[in-house]
Amino acid sequence: MSADKRYYLTTPIYYVNDVPHIGHAYTTLACDVIARFKRLDGYDVHFLTGTDEHGQKVEKSAAVAGIAPQEFTDRVSQNFRDLADAMNYSHDDFIRTTEQRHIEASQAIWAKLKENGHIYLGSYAGWYAVRDEAFYDESELTEGEGGTKLASSGAEVEWVEEPSYFFDLSKWQEPLLKFYEDNPDFIAPKSRRNEVISFVKGGLHDLSISRTSFKWGVPVPNDPDHIMYVWLDALTNYITAVGYPNTDSDEYTKRWPVDLHMVGKDILRFHAVYWLAFLMGAGIDVPKRVFAHGWWTNEGQKISKSIGNIIDPNEIVETYGLDQVRYFLLREVPFGNDGDFSNKAMISRINSDLANDLGNLCQRVLSMINKNCDAKIPECRPADLGAYPVNGTLQDAHRLLEKVRVHIDNQAFHEALKEIWRVVRDANRTVDESAPWTLRETDPEAMASVLYILAEIIRHFAILLQPFMPQSCAKMLDQLAVPENARGFSQLQSADEEAFDENALKAGTPLPTPEGIFPRFSD
């Protein structure tokens, strides 16, 4: 496979102290759709997710649970793997930062940064927020209740004073700014890129990258009194997973640099500033792109454990169905913006787009074929090609892949779906205009042609929508008797051909009895 047909993408690794909620499900879902899309489009994909298991926050949670940190992380990391199964994610690797391969990689990047002269020993005195695992300047703080001090994220900070190693981040301001300028698509969306640039322009301080006041982390090479700052350890997971420090290995040379780091807006700075500088300092190639998505609120309220309004993905999947949830999350909100989850919005999306538009189209076409064409793929008379309104829709369906591909490469999932739905709605309109039920009486062969064309249109939708709704599309393709090995994007017809190509549905193929795929919900 040629080098440009490879795609490596990552999710953030999740803090194990949290119960997995819709926010975590969202980041990985976005990656899952891209991974599935690229595989169907002929890429050799590597899709990585995992859990972030070190740091003070996890150590504290383990102490509260009354068990050793390793036992605690073994237990709670499983929750994220269960979520991955429940959401039907197709990751190729699940990394845990407590694994030996990762400890070795973290110590290796540290040694490289040290060797290259970017690490020095000093002492840190300043504010630290355990919840964010981040350091803050006095100027960034506000006063909380009872005289506490709060970071801009709302997390409480505590004063930390201890010996610490530092990374010379202040020296990276110019190289970073030049990199952003030379690579305008590195940070997306644009508004977030501007935020990062102004943050870096504001000046960078050297970064404390080791701690001595607790133990739960990767020991600093040759100075085991220190453990590595959890973010340096965590970010390194992205190269651990492709074999670092073994940079000559096939896996590493084939996969790195990564094509896409998908992150939430809250952790963009760590990826687009610190990680970039660490990699530059260690002489490692840098990522091609970082996309920062927005945050979900629940019925207008910030999602938080303390408010008790966490949306459990398992519960909504139970209520609405897995593919319905996957569709809603990526269709409802322009990817990159914040969004609000509400049951009303969910039901209205499912009913209008899935039940009324796509579900209804499949149901009516397949039932007509079942009743009027002996439950077999009908024959299309060459003379009928171009003669009925459904033909225009077929041409549009042929053009979809090219358009949708561009949207997926821009991580514009909502645009990709809107593009497909324009044609789904059009298909429903042109069935009415082509009126196969009338043709049944006047010209049954023409009816067969119209139904064949509609079945081909549905085949295109079902193949293209697999990344978003894998299970439902598999059912649609089963109902059209499309073999499992004929469901890749290479089976879609390209726009410039006049007649049907060899991948089109074969007349005479027996079809199963059609079944509804997207039930309606009462509002």
User: Per CB under 6 A, does 362 bind ligand MSP?
Assistant: no
Helix residue ranges per DSSP H, 283-378 = 313-320, 322-331, 343-349, 360-372
User: Per CB under 6 A, does 27 bind ligand MSP?
Assistant: yes
Closer residue to ligand MSP, CB minimum distance, 286 or 385: 286
Amino acid (1-letter code) at residue 272: A
User: Per CB under 6 A, does 23 bind ligand MSP?
Assistant: yes
Listed ranges 14-22, 206-214, 283-291, 507-515: which one lies at the site for ligand MSP (CB under 6 A): 14-22
End-to-end CA distance of the chain: 50
User: Per CB under 6 A, does 511 bind ligand MSP?
Assistant: no
For the sheet with 219-220, list strands across it. Answer: 210-211, 223-228, 219-220
Tell me which residues in 186-245 interact with ligand MSP (CB under 6 A): 234-235, 237
Closer residue to ligand MSP, CB minimum distance, 339 or 359: 339
- For residue 516, count other CB atoms closer than 10 A to its CB: 14
Least gap, CB of 271 to ligand MSP (angstroms): 7
User: Per CB under 6 A, does 18 bind ligand MSP?
Assistant: yes
Round to whole Å and give the CA distance between 277 and 172.
Answer: 6
Listed ranges 24-32, 203-211, 244-252, 283-291: which one lies at the site for ligand MSP (CB under 6 A): 24-32
User: Per CB under 6 A, does 295 bind ligand MSP?
Assistant: yes
User: Per CB under 6 A, does 443 bind ligand MSP?
Assistant: no
Q: Is the dihedral of CA 187, 188, 194, 198 positive or negative?
A: negative
User: Per CB under 6 A, does 166 bind ligand MSP?
Assistant: no
Helix residue ranges per DSSP H, 410-499 = 413-434, 436-442, 444-465, 470-479
User: Per CB under 6 A, does 24 bind ligand MSP?
Assistant: yes
User: Per CB under 6 A, does 14 bind ligand MSP?
Assistant: yes
CB 490 within 8 A of CB 405: no
**Cα–chain center distance at 394:** 30
Residue found under tokens 């990826």: 271
Angstrom distances, CA of residue 290 to CA of 188, 199, 260:
6, 16, 6
Listed ranges 11-19, 30-38, 373-381, 415-423: which one lies at the site for ligand MSP (CB under 6 A): 11-19
Closer residue to ligand MSP, CB minimum distance, 341 or 468: 341
Which residue's Cβ has the minimum distance to ligand MSP? 264
HEC profile of 88-141:
CCCCCEEEECCCHHHHHHHHHHHHHHHHCCCEEEEEEEEEEECCCCEEECHHHC
Closer residue to ligand MSP, CB minimum distance, 179 or 295: 295
User: Per CB under 6 A, does 73 bind ligand MSP?
Assistant: no
User: Per CB under 6 A, does 8 bind ligand MSP?
Assistant: no
Closer residue to ligand MSP, CB minimum distance, 333 or 464: 333
CB 93 within 8 A of CB 46: yes
Using CB under 6 A as the binding criterion, the count of chain residues that bind ligand MSP stands at: 20
Q: Which two tokens stand for residue 21?
A: 């909620």
Q: Which two tokens stand for residue 511?
A: 């079809």
User: Per CB under 6 A, does 334 bind ligand MSP?
Assistant: no
Closer residue to ligand MSP, CB minimum distance, 12 or 69: 12
Round to whole Å and give the CA distance between 13 and 187.
Answer: 19
Listed ranges 19-27, 70-78, 109-117, 489-497: which one lies at the site for ligand MSP (CB under 6 A): 19-27
Q: Which two tokens stand for residue 488?
A: 């890749």
3-state secondary structure of 349: helix
User: Per CB under 6 A, does 50 bind ligand MSP?
Assistant: no
Closer residue to ligand MSP, CB minimum distance, 235 or 463: 235
User: Per CB under 6 A, does 299 bind ligand MSP?
Assistant: no
User: Per CB under 6 A, does 303 bind ligand MSP?
Assistant: yes
CB 129 within 8 A of CB 266: no
Listed ranges 189-197, 261-269, 415-423, 451-459: which one lies at the site for ligand MSP (CB under 6 A): 261-269
Round to whole Å and give the CA distance between 364 and 210.
Answer: 64
Residue found under tokens 């006041």: 213
User: Per CB under 6 A, does 480 bind ligand MSP?
Assistant: no
Binding site for ligand MSP (CB under 6 A): 12-15, 18, 23-24, 26-27, 52, 234-235, 237, 263-264, 266-267, 295-296, 303
